[in-house]
Structure 1
Amino acid sequence: MKYLTLNKWIDNVKSLPNNKASSPSGISYKMLKNLNEDNQSFLHAFIYVCMDLNDILVEWKKATIYPIPKLKPFFANLTNTRLITLLKTPQKAFISLLNRRLS
């Protein structure tokens, strides 16, 4: 897979939606979008090191899952919930990049 330039990476980050839940750390897409070029360059390089090594951080292999109750009564039945998965924001940006590149 051909690597994106830093400008293409920044364009990818800027295309991410603003109205999504932030990660448990509190970092949102908006914060990623407002990083200066030095920090964007660091994140860009880090992600491509992960791709070169065919490995990601152990922390990025974990997620936080929250059950959200559906409109019907809960009655301690998990089928009456909808699960959402909160990933770390840089991890979501990386996954977004991979999805765009693969499609």
Structure 2
Amino acid sequence: MLKHLTGEAFNLSLVLANACLIHGDISADWREALVYPIPKPHEFEAQLKNTQPITLLEIIRKYVVKVITTRLSKILADN
């Protein structure tokens, strides 16, 4: 989704992500996530082990976490 943003929408998304990182102020909504159990292809039988958990995150939040993780991984690998 972010790859297809242009102009003002992309700039505003970038400003939001940068502001969160610069000020260290993360939205309270970004600190929570919902986990949905998706049934596996076989019989459910009311067992959680027969589900695959999936977490849905907001696009900008996911992007910010990806940038931080990538940068930290490189720093940790180099040191």
CA deviation after TM superposition for structure 1 residue 81, in Å: 0.8
Which residue is equivalent to 1:19? none
State the distance in 1 between where 2:44 and 2:9 align. 44
Residue type matched to 2:50 in 1?
A: N
Instruction: Select 2:6's aligned residue among 7, 28, 36.
Output: 36
Instruction: Select 2:49's aligned residue among 79, 83, 92.
Output: 79
State the distance in 2 between where 1:53 and 1:96 align. 18
Residue type matched to 1:86 in 2?
A: L
Please list the CA deviations of residues 8-29 of structure 1 after superposition, one character each: whole Å capped at 9, or x if unmatched: xxxxxxxxxxxxxxxxxxxxx2
Q: How does 1:2-81 map to 2 (within 5 A)?
A: 29=1, 32-81=2-51
Higher helix share: 2
TM-score, normalisation: structure 1: 0.62
3-state secondary structure, aligned to 2:45: coil
Uncovered stretches (5+) of structure 1, i.e. residues with no partner:
1-28
Root-mean-square deviation (CA), in Å?
A: 1.5
% identical equivalent positions: 36
1:94 correspondence with 2:37: no
TM-score, normalisation: structure 2: 0.78
Residue type matched to 2:72 in 1?
A: L
3-state secondary structure, aligned to 2:35: strand
- Structure with more contact order per residue of length (Cα contacts < 8 Å, sep ≥ 6): 1
Q: How many residues align?
A: 73
